[in-house]
Amino acid sequence: MIPIAKPIITDKEKEKIMQVMDSGMLACGQFVKDFEEKFSDYIGCNYGIATSSGTTALDIALKSAGIKEGDKIITTPFTFIASSNSILYSGAEPVFVDIDRNTFNISPDLIREKMEENPGIKALLIVHLYGLPCNMDEIMDIVDEYNLILIEDCAQAHGAEYCSQKVGTFGDVAIFSFYPTKNMTTGEGGIVLTSNKEIMERARLLVNHGQSSRYYHEILGYNYRMTNIAAAIGLVQLEKLDTFNKQRQENAAYLTDNLNNLEYIEVPQVPKNYFHSFHQYTIKVEQREQLISCLQEKEIGYGVHYPIPVYKQPFYQKQGYDRLNLPVCEELSKKVISLPVHPSLSKEDLKLIVETIKSFK
């Protein structure tokens, strides 16, 4: 079986975990502080606040950036539901804008159209989907023109770059996820990144019960802290991230070189000056179910990310989005399928994936 994702955990991670176990401090502590500093340095932000998951990081990011009840936030409908749910956690309203057909990311042209219709929108939450950065030149022009708060969801884009600048450094605040399927993992965890001191200070309070000092609670907070055990894994994984990403790019290049001329699929596009970290290698195909059957027959893992636009989910339909129609998102949700691209793949694995796709027709 070739899995769609496979975290690489070695003796180095295990040794680091044992350091935590031997220390007796399993909860949030020095290992977490070290991880926060090293990951924020790697991305290029001044501050990092580690959390228990990517979802809790999103919640903290929005609340720390000042998102409040009644605020309207533009975001993408083509992503994991946690992105827009985080808007709802703050009592704000997601405003969905359609995506670009080639990149799967939110369309800057349609963001501008929406802003012209409703200049009262307060913020923009973008997702660098599958590891490909959004068009940040166009997005930053809109952010500056309308004075928007920009939140970057980089849950799938560890190390990805736009014009040699890492994603996570463009906005007021950004988040990353370290779920096991991501380009690097902490087992389960996330992080909030910012270079804004006020956002950092509020985020630190929010993740730790609102405490500024022990048993002194300034605001309503949460228990969203990362553990030392998770941070220990992350410290070792971070050292390997560039190597992991390089292998993902090499695997993606092999797939593209061998699949690019097939008329019945469309391989991922990487625009000039974009560094795609290939969290997913996502193709478009008309006969998706037939291709899935072929992959299953050869025991090749796959993923369909995402088969239902967020606003089509039952909960969102009940929230008043039942009349929304975003044609590109709805079209692509029926065509996308992700193939294995992770660094655990062997040459034989890659050859079998290519042979299976080529034999599909």
Give DSSP secondary structure letters for 286-310. S-HHHHHHHHHHTTB--B-S-SS-G
> Is the domain of 197 the same as that of 258?
no
The domain that holds 143 is classified in CATH as 3.40.640.10
Q: Is residue 270 part of a domain?
A: yes
Name which of 136, 129, 143 is nearest 177 in CA terms. Answer: 129
Residue-level length of the chain: 361
Compute how many other C-beta atoms are within 10 angstroms of the C-beta atom of residue 39. Answer: 26
Q: Are 224 and 56 in contact (CB under 8 A)?
A: yes
Bridge partners (DSSP) listed for residue 72 = 93
The confidence score (pLDDT) of residue 270 equals: 95
Domain residues for the domain of 139 are 11-236
Residues 210-226 have a mean pLDDT of 93
Same domain, yes or no, for 32 and 130? yes
Q: Does residue 116 lie within any of the structural domains?
A: yes
Cis peptide bond N-terminal to 306, omega within 30 = yes
Nearest to 104 by CA among 265, 291, 309, 247: 309
Is 308 among the domain residues? Answer: yes
CA 107 vs. chain centroid, Å, equals 17
Domain limit, last residue, from 214, 236, 258: 236
pLDDT tens digits for range 255-314:
999 999 999 999 999 999 999 999 999 999 999 999 999 999 999 999 999 999 999 999
Rounded to two decimals, the pTM is 0.97
* 215, 254: one domain: no
Q: Is the pLDDT of residue 29 over 90?
A: no
Tell whether the torsion through CA atoms of 51, 82, 94 and 314 is positive or negative: negative
Whole-angstrom distance, CA of residue 83 vs CA of residue 61:
11
Q: Rounded mean pLDDT of 64-88?
A: 98
Domain co-membership, 67 together with 132: yes
Dig out the tokens for 144 from the structure: 């500056």
Is the pLDDT assigned to residue 361 strictly greater than 80?
no
**pLDDT confidence bin for 246, thresholds 50/70/90:** very high
Same domain, yes or no: 264 and 230: no
What pLDDT sits at residue 28? Answer: 85
The confidence band for 27, taking pLDDT boundaries of 50, 70 and 90, is: confident
Indicate if 205 and 325 belong to the same structural domain.
Answer: no
Is it the case that residue 9 has pLDDT exceeding 80?
Answer: yes
Neighbours of 109 (CB within 10 A): 13
Query: Which pLDDT does position 59 carry in this prediction?
Result: 98
Q: Is residue 292, in this structure, part of any structural domain at all?
A: yes
The backbone torsions φ and ψ at residue 52, rounded to the nearest 5 degrees and listed phi first, read -80, -15
Co-location of 267 and 179 in the same domain: no
271 in any annotated domain: yes
Whether residue 118 sits in one domain with residue 52: yes
Residues 138 and 180 in one domain: yes
Tell me the C-alpha distance between 159 and 11, whole Å. Answer: 24
Q: Does 277 share its domain with 202? A: no
Query: In the chain, how many domains are there?
Result: 2
Q: What is the mean pLDDT of residues 125-133?
A: 98
Whether residue 4 lies inside any domain: the answer is no
Are 130 and 100 contacting, i.e. CB atoms less than 8 angstroms apart?
A: no
CA distance 164 to 336: 28
Is the pLDDT assigned to residue 25 strictly greater than 90? no
Q: Which residues pair with 336 in a beta bridge?
A: 284
Q: Which pLDDT belongs to residue 12?
A: 97
Percentage, residues of the chain above pLDDT 90 = 96
Residue 73: which of 94, 57, 59 has the closest Cα?
Answer: 94
pLDDT computed for residue 173 by the predictor: 98
pLDDT average, residue stretch 29-33: 94
Write the burial class of residue 210 (CB in 10 Å: 0-12 exposed, 13-18 middle, 19+ buried).
middle
pLDDT range class, residue 32, cuts 50, 70, 90: very high
**Statement to judge: residues 200 and 82 lie in one domain:** yes
What is the Cβ-side half-sphere exposure of residue 4, based on CA atoms within 13 angstroms?
A: 18
Looking at residue 213, its pLDDT comes to 86
Average pLDDT over residues 235-244: 98
Q: What is the average pLDDT score of the chain?
A: 97
pLDDT of residue 350: 98
Q: Of 197, 218, 236, at which residue does a domain stop? A: 236
Using only C-alpha atoms, what is the Rg of the chain? Answer: 20
Task: Out of 181, 213, 236, pick the residue that ends a domain.
Answer: 236
Same domain as 166, residue 281: no
